[in-house]
Amino acid sequence: MHRLILLSSTYQQSASGASHDPGHWYRGHDWPRSPGLLVDPDNRLHWRWQRRRLDAEEVRDALLDVSGQLDLAMGGSLMQGSNRGYVPGYPNSSYDHYDSRRRSVYLPVIRSDLYRVFQAFDFADPSTPSGERPTTTVAPQALFMMNSKLVLEQTRHLAADLLGRSDQDDTGRVRLAYERAYGRPPTDAETGRALAFVRRIEGLLQREKVAPAERRLRAWQSLCRVILAANEFIHVD
């Protein structure tokens, strides 16, 4: 039964509305469109995969995974405090031990002080039953991608990892980054653009008087940050 479902062409569809058939290049459009896009743009008939954004847990796990930091250990508990130790009493206190590389499913859910990363991405309120999580797109999520400690740390790991691959040249490193983040190799244009971007950032950092080795690492970190902030990373296409 599962085999039947998983191997079906319906299940294997992508979310793209583009067509590979040049015959679908309609007048006035700049790219060939699947007829479905014209007949059923709302995708009521499931002619294409319904794109979805990653859930809060998936966002965190994906960030840790692409940077090679995700700890896949199974079982056990991350709760090390004493009984009632997680409930802020008086005076006001907060829980800040979310710093773990374990999968999100093992992170404590502290009702009184929920992990901010989860909160930012529509994690359901753990104090009330909820049948469905809405998916909102709000600026704090973008702020998270730009400024959070988690993203800053993981992109640095990813950059260090890429630069540590002495068997690869820079073109190969861009390919690795794309494959890890998007599951596909970059086009030549994308590779060229990424490398130009790294050079540009190195120039900017030179002006900020950053040491050469650190400059290179931070320029690649910048590229990684963009790759992971992009829509292609956070959506299942």
Considering only residues 153-182, where is the footprint of another protein by CB under 8 A?
none
- Per CB under 8 A, the list member of 204, 211, 212, 236 interacting with another protein is 204
Query: Residues touching another protein: how many (CB under 8 A)?
Result: 72
CB nearer to another protein: pick between 98 and 121: 121
> Are 197 and 204 contacting, i.e. CB atoms less than 8 angstroms apart?
no
Residue positions counted in the chain: 237
CB nearer to another protein: pick between 49 and 106: 49
CB nearer to another protein: pick between 72 and 152: 152
Per-residue binding letters, 3-42, with another protein (x by CB under 8 A): ------------xxxx-----------xx-x---x---xx
Find the shortest distance in angstroms from Cβ 4 to another protein: 28
Long-range contacts at 225-229 (CB < 8 A, ≥ 24 apart) = 225/145, 225/146, 225/151, 225/152, 225/155, 226/197, 227/177, 227/178, 227/181, 227/182, 228/63, 228/66, 228/145, 228/151, 228/154, 228/155, 228/158, 228/181, 229/142, 229/145, 229/146, 229/151
- Per CB under 8 A, the list member of 116, 157, 160, 171 interacting with another protein is 116
Find the shortest distance in angstroms from Cβ 92 to another protein: 4
Q: Could you tell me if residue 197 is left (phi over 0), alpha (psi between -120 and 50 degrees) or otherwise beta?
A: alpha
CB nearer to another protein: pick between 76 and 91: 91
